[in-house]
Amino acid sequence: MSAPQNPLTRFITDKPNCWQLSEYQSHGGYDGFTRAMEMSPDELLDTIKQSNLRGRGGAGFPTGLKWSFVPRGEAAPTEKYLIVNADEMEPGAFKDRWLLEQTPHQIIEGLLIGGLTLGATQGYIFLRGDYYLAEERLQQAIDECRKQHLLGHGILKNSNTGHAFNFDIHIHSSAGRYICGEETALINAMEGKRATPRAKPPFPQVAGLWGKPTIVNNVETFCNLPHIINFGSDWFKALGKEQDAGTKIFGVSGRVKRPGLWELPMGTSIREIIERHAGGMSDGYRLKGLLPGGGSTDFLLEEHLDTPMDYDAIGKLGSRMGTGTIIILDDQYCPVSMVLNLVRFFAQESCGWCTPCRDGLPWAVSLLEKIERGEGELKDIEQLEELCNFAAPGNTFCALAPGAVEPLQSALKYFRQDFEAHINHQCCPYHGDVATGITATAKAHNPLNTNQVEVK
């Protein structure tokens, strides 16, 4: 089979049973695992390192480097665990759901390769609780593999060691809290404990689930492994347009003509994703700003549209690529209201473990609600800026609060005049205020919208 340009989605076809084992294998499914069985763990890990695969959950940490921290050799613990983080609760993120529902065997194959690489015999899929179709298809895929001896004891024999491979997978349905997406909170939840992050070190690679070495990676990260092993690290690196290797599931939501998901080379520009693939802005709307990687990333503007979507390029602009799922802010929607909606979500989902998150986020919500009602004061903006500094990286126990204030701090930077207009006019210029008799009829031509571009 020739090396594909769309490895993650090549198994997704128009056939209604494309997610089943027979269809997956007919398109080369499990070829990567078969090849991996002929390789040593050192060869597998070295291939993953050389591929420059970076975690697709948002942080972008090099996968091979992360895996290299797992103890190996005779002195290493015999029990090790692999966990797929499928708790997709980030606002605006829906890429993993597509893979979970349409190509569950790709995730299973990635776990099998991970088990071979690290010497693990158990894999878990920590699944968002309301992904019902995904859970149904994942369980059916696991059952198919067990019947075909692709999971369980004595799967295949490695020609190098002569030993049979034992590996099984279990689904753990989440109770439905955003904090469970943080890997140590996820591990605590699996152990039946309160879902709060753990202090590091020790890191999960050394002491994770039930105190054993554990790797937690995103759905999309595991889905890349079969193709890297099957077609090689050089092929994978060549797929990317810029520094980062491979392809990525990018998405766009908001007022565009074709919201959705697309597999594109890493480094594809923001402009190409919005204009070409999402069809541009919906008729009658103009672009005011965008969140490049889900609800916990900083806003970017029209001037940033030609930036490649990769981790370093977006980072240089003061934002993060995150999940790669873009959220559009159009010229007819209030940025204060949008930020309020996001910060309210993060405040609700805080585990309450540390003060900046537990107390700071609800106070930010209170101030934003006050401003949106037209009751704000200019000093409230200063206090919101102080709260952003209070919840900055290094001041909190985990990344939830720093991520929660990213849209807020960037909105204060780019859309400050919108906040001030709410205060000066004692109403929302976009949504209006019934008490003052001001409505939203003039919002389409709001003079506050200076950072705009019409994308066609």
Mean pLDDT calculated for residue range 136-161: 86
**182-216 pLDDT, tens per residue?**
999 999 999 999 999 999 999 999 999 999 999 99
Q: Which CATH class is domain 21-239?
A: alpha beta
Class of domain 335-429: mainly alpha
Q: What is the pLDDT of residues 368-427, one digit of tens each?
A: 999 999 999 999 999 999 999 999 998 999 999 999 999 999 999 999 999 999 999 999
Element (H, E) at 172: strand 168-173
Q: What is the largest CA-CA distance in the chain?
A: 80
Whole-prediction pTM: 0.91
Q: Are 310 and 267 in contact (CB under 8 A)?
A: yes
**Tens-digit pLDDT profile for residues 346-378:** 999 999 989 999 999 999 999 999 999 999 999
Q: What is the mean pLDDT of the chain?
A: 91
pLDDT value for 381: 96
Element (H, E) at 163: none
Q: In terms of residues, how long is the chain?
A: 456
Instruction: Give the model's pLDDT for residue 163.
Output: 64
d(CA 321, CA 325) in angstroms, rounded, equals 8
Name which of 127, 210, 115 is nearest 153 in CA terms.
115
What are the structural domain ranges in the chain?
21-239, 335-429
DSSP string, 236-278: HHHH-SSSS-SEEEEEEESSBSS-EEEEEETT-BHHIIIIIIS
Q: Is the pLDDT of residue 30 over 80?
A: yes
- For 189-228, list the strands marked E by DSSP: 214-218
In tens, the pLDDT along 228-261 reads 999 999 999 999 998 899 999 999 999 999 999 9
Q: Residue 43 above 80 pLDDT? A: yes
Helix (H) or strand (E) holding 123: strand 122-127
Distances, alpha carbon 135 to alpha carbons 87, 121, 125, in Å: 12, 21, 10
For residue 437, is pLDDT > 80?
A: no
